[in-house]
Amino acid sequence: MMKSYNEIEGRFKRLTDLNGALAVLHWDSAAMMPAGGATARADQITALSLVCHDMMVDPALNELLSKAELESDKSPEDFDNWHLANLAEMRRMWQHANAVPSDLVEALSQATSACEMVWRDARPDNDFARLEPLLTHLVSLVREVAAAKSEALGISPYDALLDEFDPGTRSADIDPLFDGLDIFLPEFLQQVKEVQSSGRQPEPLNGSFAVADQRALAERLMNQLGFDFDFGRLDVSHHPFTGGVPDDVRITTRYYEDDFTQSLMGVLHETGHALYERGLPSQWRHQPVGTARGMTMHESQSLIIEMLACRSEEFVRYLTPLVKETFGGSGPAWEAENLVRHYRRVQPGLIRVDADEVTYPAHVILRYRLEKNLISGDLTVADLPGAWNEAMQKSLGLTPPDDRDGVLQDIHWPSGAFGYFPTYTLGAMAAAQLFDAAQNDNDAVVIGLEHGDFGPLLSWLRTHVHALGSLMSTQDLMVRATKKPLDVEVYKAHLTRRYLGG
């Protein structure tokens, strides 16, 4: 009674393998590919993207999906919750793919590859004018995709893009959360700055920190976190990210020889992503239900590791002697209390990836609002730098001196990722809530951090998040794990405890 369903599983197995090849090609283009390979790589990625799209728009697939859905109705005893969720995810993916014609898929893939490659030179050269025509063309194509999916899915164009990254999440869910944070953060930020300015200031960690030493420390901590180097690797790229597939996870970072703190936390952040990928249900590895439950949940897993666990006082006390051993540091600046002050220092800055935990949401809200206006047509790419600078001044009291540290700093828009940014702060909210639940369920979670033991935390995450894949919606997963849906008040309470001691 599952004949059609089983045939679809075979099709999605092939599709998953092809998409995995695409993921590795994207990673290679960012971390290993010589600049001269850009054109050939763009052609390869486009060709594979079209093959995947053709598989999804094959009329036979829709017929099989309809038959499988009928099978599940007629023989419910043959379909458990995993099968039903897998079928629902297949249908969702089919709806997204069939809304967009093949020629638009091809044009978007080519435009994305071209725009991303130009961004890599335009940012260090502070040359937005060079990127502008390519980004303008890319945005116009993204708008076409958004409009087509909007009509097919019956939701707004921006929500159609958001649904690709976070299935089921809508801007109507996000707006009240972000509006509330927008009200909360300015006064809270001022309070934190007053408290920190009246206290002891972080002493500088002076020195030249060799990249080889930074990498050695990062790999040591990755091992302790549970990262298996038989199934992944650490490399360098312009912008830190996690790519590849669950059995071949690729982490990248970037190093600064005058500051080891940023790269170290960046690696720990990406390791959180990698652990999620590795912990997804192996028995559903090649099916939609076996994939991560959207980017809000993915970002929550990286932030639980980086922000909640690895910036905790307990873990920093464990980390301190490792840092001293690695870099030969000594004296008061190299004690745990000072390292905590460095990792808890709140100071508005221009760069999102380097932002502290309190000001980071302002960076995300800024981008979320700008990209919504870009998709709606209320903002043009030509006006984006000015709009960016104005929003940055309003939200953080800073005006970028140039576009390098302003509108050019992120790879997301040049790579066509519109609808991704809000998941960073939604993920921060989810991280606070999940970590709170993990601590309440098991005292060993925090105790373990004092000894560099992530076993209790990882075990809890494996059970309550990783192993569930896409079995349920983000909200249902949150309720199952924490007994409540995503709640901004838990996030506010975490920030208050950490930075004001309340």
Q: Residue 256: which CATH number?
A: 1.10.1370.30
Task: Tell me if 29 sits within 8 A of 114, measured CB to CB.
Answer: no
Specify whether 270 is catalytic.
yes
Q: What is the pLDDT of residues 320-376, one digit of tens each?
A: 999 999 999 999 999 999 999 999 999 999 999 889 999 999 999 999 999 999 999
Question: Is 338 within the bounds of a domain?
Answer: yes
Question: Is 439 within the bounds of a domain?
Answer: yes
C-alpha angle 310-429-149 in degrees, rounded to nearest 5: 125
Counted domains in the chain: 1
Q: What is the pLDDT of residues 302-321, one digit of tens each?
A: 999 999 999 999 999 999 99
What is the C-alpha to C-alpha distance for residues 34 and 317, in angstroms, rounded to an integer? 41
pLDDT band at residue 204 under the 50/70/90 scheme: very high
Question: Is 240 within the bounds of a domain?
Answer: yes
Q: Is the pLDDT of residue 72 over 80?
A: yes
- Crossing angle of helices 474-482 and 422-441, in 10° steps, is 20
Q: Print the domain residue range for 359.
A: 172-500
Three-state secondary structure call for residue 476: helix
pLDDT band at residue 63 under the 50/70/90 scheme: very high
Would you state the pLDDT for residue 153? 96
Task: Tell me if 154 sits within 8 A of 142, measured CB to CB.
Answer: no
Question: Is 406 within the bounds of a domain?
Answer: yes
Question: Is 337 within the bounds of a domain?
Answer: yes
Q: How distant, in Å, are the alpha carbons of 342, 351, 363, 368 from that of 347?
A: 11, 11, 13, 22
Largest CA distance in the chain: 72
Q: What is the pLDDT of residues 35-58, one digit of tens each?
A: 899 999 999 999 999 999 999 999
Q: What is the mean pLDDT of the chain?
A: 96
What is the C-alpha to C-alpha distance for residues 130 and 420, in angstroms, rounded to an integer? 24
Q: Indicate yes or no: pTM above 0.85.
A: yes
pLDDT band at residue 501 under the 50/70/90 scheme: confident
Q: Is the pLDDT of residue 172 over 90?
A: yes
Question: Is 258 within the bounds of a domain?
Answer: yes
Would you state the pLDDT for residue 441? 96
Question: Is 90 within the bounds of a domain?
Answer: no
Q: Is the pLDDT of residue 112 over 80?
A: yes
Question: Is 233 within the bounds of a domain?
Answer: yes
C-alpha angle 310-253-255 in degrees, rounded to nearest 5: 95
Q: Please tell me which residue in 69, 270, 306, 371 is annotated as part of the active site.
A: 270
